[in-house]
Structure 1
Amino acid sequence: MQAHEMMIKEVFKVREKDSVRSVIKGFIEHRISGMPVVNDQDEMVGYVSDGDIMRHIGKHKDFYVDSLYTVTVVQGDQVEFDERIKKILDLHVMEVAKRKVIRVEWDVKSEDIAAILGKKQIKKLPVEQDGVLVGIISRGDVIRRTFASIL
């Protein structure tokens, strides 16, 4: 099976000039956790995920790691946190998005897609055909399409 046979063709994306607020609205409205960032020519220039936003929210000193498995949370000021969240919502998406995006061509085989998703520890993989974004594949898409016929 190839990428174009398992990808989701309806790709929700955000413009590079949009704010993080637009990203969050898209995540909520479409029940997704990541989306490509495109420029005015509809070329993919980045990718933003819920993890990127979580890392940005977490850039503060409200916790520290005691050991490999223990995290101690320092009681922070809720007002400071709320203000930080408001500031994050007004950032441009490219301030939190990844600029180097791992992507595949539409004819890549499913086992190669699974290897990329697993090795790179990413959840979604944009699919392009001749440099044009045509779809997206998630880990769940690979699992469903790979095992559906044998279960």
Structure 2
Amino acid sequence: MQAHEFMIRQVHKVKSTDTVREVIERFLEHGISGLPVVNERNEIVGYISDGDIMRYIGKRDDIMIEAGFYFAVFKGDDREFEERAQQLLQLNVMRIAQKKEKVVKVQWDEVIENIAAILGKRKIKKVPVERNGVLVGIISRGNVIRQTFKHML
């Protein structure tokens, strides 16, 4: 089975000119945690996830490693945290999104076994699907599981 046979065709996405505020509004509105970022030709130029947002607002000044554990030492207060969150809302999405070169994506004719391997090995929740360089769909772990096991249960 190929990606185009079971991908979600109506993809929630953001434009490369959007702000992080618009990203978070879509996250909340649709109950999602990641979005492809596209240009005016619907080409994938990035990917923004809740992890990118956490890395920005969870900024820390120092990290210590002791006995294999990471300890984050936070220097600041609630006011500084809120200021970072407010600043983040105004940023262009491409300031914190994964750039095109790092975006994991699959082609529209990729087979399901390879997609499952990509999602598992890369530890990602979903992957954009493209055809001729243009975003045409998205596939999540849930899509792969449903497609694989629906006739077995």
Compare 23-32 and 38-47 and name the one that shifted more.
38-47
Q: What is the percent sequence identity of the aligned residues?
A: 57
Please tell me the root mean square deviation across aligned C-alpha atoms, in Å.
1.8
Partner of 1:123: 125
What is the aligned counterpart of 2:142 among 121, 140, 143?
140
Partner of 2:82: 82
Separation in structure 1 between the aligned mates of residue 67 and residue 148 of structure 2, nearest angstrom? 39
Separation in structure 2 between the aligned mates of residue 56 and residue 70 of structure 1, nearest angstrom? 18
Structure 2 unaligned segments of length 5 or more: list them.
none
- State the one-letter code of the partner of 1:107: D
What number of residue pairs does the alignment pair up?
151
Q: Deviations over 1:76-130 (max 9, x none)?
A: 4111111111001111100110012121111111000011111222211111122
Partner of 1:41: 41
SS in 2 for 1:45: strand
SS in 2 for 1:46: strand
Separation in structure 1 between the aligned mates of residue 10 and residue 68 of structure 2, nearest angstrom? 41
Once the two structures are TM-superposed, the CA of residue 6 in structure 1 deviates from its matched residue by: 1.9
What is the aligned counterpart of 2:115 among 113, 116, 123?
113
- State the one-letter code of the partner of 1:120: R
Separation in structure 2 between the aligned mates of residue 140 and residue 84 of structure 1, nearest angstrom? 33
Partner of 1:59: 59
Q: Is the 8 A contact 1:19 1:91 kept in 2?
A: yes
What is the aligned counterpart of 1:104 among 103, 106, 120?
106
Once the two structures are TM-superposed, the CA of residue 61 in structure 1 deviates from its matched residue by: 2.7
Q: Deviations over 1:11-31 (max 9, x none)?
A: 011111111000000101111
Cα 1:72–1:58 shift into 2, 3 Å: closer
Separation in structure 2 between the aligned mates of residue 65 and residue 83 of structure 1, nearest angstrom? 28
